[in-house]
Amino acid sequence: MNPAMDAQTHRRIQRRAPVDESHLPADLPPVLRRIFAARGVTSAQDLDPGLQHLLRGDSLLGMPGAVDLLVHALKVQERIVFVADFDADGATSCALGIRALRALGARHVDYVVPNRFEYGYGLTPPIVDLVRGKGADLLITVDNGISSVEGVAAARAAGLKILVTDHHLPGLYLPEAQAIVNPNLPGDPFPSKALAGVGVIFYVMLALRARLRENGWFTQQGIAEPNPAEFLDLVALGTVADVVPLDANNRRLVAQGLARLRAGRGQAGIHALIRAGGRDASRLQASDLGFAVGPRLNAAGRLSDMSLGIECLLSDDPQRCTVMARELDALNLARREIEKETREQALDQVLLEFSLEGDVPAGICVFDPTWHQGVIGIVAGRVKDRHHRPVIAFAMAGDDELKGSARSIPGVHIRDVLDTVAARHPSLLTRFGGHAMAAGLSLPLAHLEVFSRAFAAVLEEQVDPALLAPSVWSDGPLPAEDLTLDLAQRIAAAGPWGQAFPEPLFDDVFRVRQRRVVGQDHLRLQLEIGARTLPAIAFNAAASAWAESATRIHAAYRLSVNHYQGSVELQLVIEHAEPA
């Protein structure tokens, strides 16, 4: 890769501006006060993970109608069929909805998860035929449906009732479902717009349980009232895996789900996936859900059929879950191999296309007819990370039709960009949808070249060039006396950290005392600062400019707790470094 075109090479360490922290509790360590204030925490309540501070769901616009549909379905025991998206958010949403309805007394609950290669995204008329084949009376979408105008119309024409639960941004027209619950509906007063699909269906089930309690349902049916907290591990997994912003409300949901998993509670399938990912549930962090558990669950939808992932989340048999988790792990290994080859081809394609100009446009589109649909989202993310530009990767989705997966950078709302392109060129796109950081789209192969130019042109107009200059945002230096295992443990406990609430990153200048390559391309280091020498690791850094000979480096690093052979020690994780 040409270094002049590699945004990672030119990343700059920038320190966050000081922010007033006087409103935060005085008993917090000064470092944590600074970190929380920089992330927009405005009160001690924002840091309280207790469910008593959870936002109330009764302000969601479509909630009364949704609950009416579900109460009637339970009373007459209608057949309910979920239509789920084929990613981790869709799988956890589907499993939560089915588990909750069964616990509430539903006897006929099933699901359909579209095979992405046959049916594409969302509720389409052919999927309605599958739902009808299951004898459904009520169709519930989870993590999809807000853009399924034709599919909902087909379902209504077939005599089905439809409840749409989704979190994606709506288009110009809403589907004519009997009820829609989506915090991003125009005019919806629900304070958080960051709920994942699994968070939306969780709130629907909370409201349904409250109505049933008011109606005396549990006494009439002679069943125990379920505790919604039992589903919070599913909420945590889907929320983290879908990379939605971890605002205060989502942090509470994720923190409570992690607490259940650390305590050995939660779904057997999630525990099996944790083991398959080589993680220890008792020390589980949000990053483990995002980098170990979520990808294994996602692998089913990317390469095969998400039914395997949903069944893993629905089963209460630990042995069966272990078998399914191993199958998902094998699919994930295959996915990684396919993704690696595709990623290398995509990066080479960008280098070849823009090598003469020596500059990369504000938006990048990559395509090869041999690429696998299931990995283009990951590949778009990898190219985006390398070049710090919004990227769309395309694959063939049928005769002369392309499917694209878009990934964006902070400050660029990718769905809004696609909306602008579609408004200017009404015939280019077949369909599109998504949210700020990720989106999906379809278009005819013949339109790709025109679309690529239009996409880049809109970004050139709308995006401040400063946003395209990659930065590593640091919380500043730490005094040598604060480089302790205790602070690392406090930071880990202060999470969950994730999207829009990033894990603390510090920076300073270190002297390199020792270095050696471990694995294939990781660096294990001994770094000196002041009178202290500290262990550190830099992943995938063996080929970096500073790796071989720099004796002093300016490094951006995280404090981590390293568990190794029964011992626990502080370790610095180097996220970025350059010779000093």
As a whole number, the mean pLDDT across the chain is 93
13 in a domain, yes or no?
no
143 in a domain, yes or no?
yes
pLDDT higher than 60, residue 24:
yes
pLDDT higher than 50, residue 56:
yes
Span 565-580, average pLDDT = 94
Domain termination residue (choose one: 330, 345, 363): 330
Span 335-362, average pLDDT = 86
Q: What single-letter DSSP state applies at residue 284?
A: -
Identify the pLDDT of residue 304: 81
Residue length, the chain?
Answer: 580
Q: What is the pLDDT of residues 229-238, one digit of tens each?
A: 999 999 999 9
Candidates 434, 468, 344; CA nearest to 121 is 434
pLDDT higher than 60, residue 1:
no
Percent of the chain clearing pLDDT 90 (strictly above)? 84
139 in a domain, yes or no?
yes
Identify the pLDDT of residue 8: 57
Span 376-387, average pLDDT = 93
Q: Which of 7-16, 277-286, 340-349, 409-418 has the lowest mean pLDDT?
A: 7-16
Identify the pLDDT of residue 114: 75
pLDDT higher than 50, residue 371:
yes
4 in a domain, yes or no?
no
Domain termination residue (choose one: 289, 304, 330): 330
Please state the pTM of the whole predicted model.
0.92
Question: What's 145's domain CATH number?
Answer: 3.90.1640.30
18 in a domain, yes or no?
no
Confidence of residue 2 (pLDDT cuts 50, 70, 90): very low
Strands 391-396 and 401-407, bridge-based pairing: antiparallel
Task: Report the number of distinct structural domains present in the chain.
Answer: 2
Pairwise CA distance, residues 171 & 144, whole Å: 13
Q: In sequence order, which ranges of 521-572 are alpha helices (DSSP H)?
A: none
Q: What is the pLDDT of residues 483-540, one digit of tens each?
A: 999 999 999 999 999 999 999 999 999 999 999 999 888 999 999 999 999 999 999 9
Q: What is the pLDDT of residues 119-163, one digit of tens each?
A: 767 899 999 999 999 999 999 999 999 999 999 999 999 999 999
Confidence of residue 545 (pLDDT cuts 50, 70, 90): confident
451 in a domain, yes or no?
no
pLDDT higher than 80, residue 373:
yes
pLDDT higher than 80, residue 356:
no
222-226, long-range: CB < 8 A, 24+ apart: 223/104, 223/105, 226/100, 226/103, 226/104
For residue 87, what are the domain limits?
A: 60-330
Pairwise CA distance, residues 542 & 405, whole Å: 30
Pairwise CA distance, residues 353 & 335, whole Å: 26
Percent of the chain clearing pLDDT 70 (strictly above)? 97
179 in a domain, yes or no?
yes
Pairwise CA distance, residues 550 & 7, whole Å: 21
Question: What's 556's domain CATH number?
Answer: 2.40.50.460
Q: What is the pLDDT of residues 191-227, one digit of tens each?
A: 999 999 999 999 999 999 999 999 999 999 999 999 9
Identify the pLDDT of residue 3: 37
Q: What single-letter DSSP state applies at residue 17?
A: P
275 in a domain, yes or no?
yes
Confidence of residue 357 (pLDDT cuts 50, 70, 90): low
DSSP 134-153: TT-SEEEEES--TT-HHHHH
Domain termination residue (choose one: 330, 357, 373): 330
Identify the pLDDT of residue 469: 86
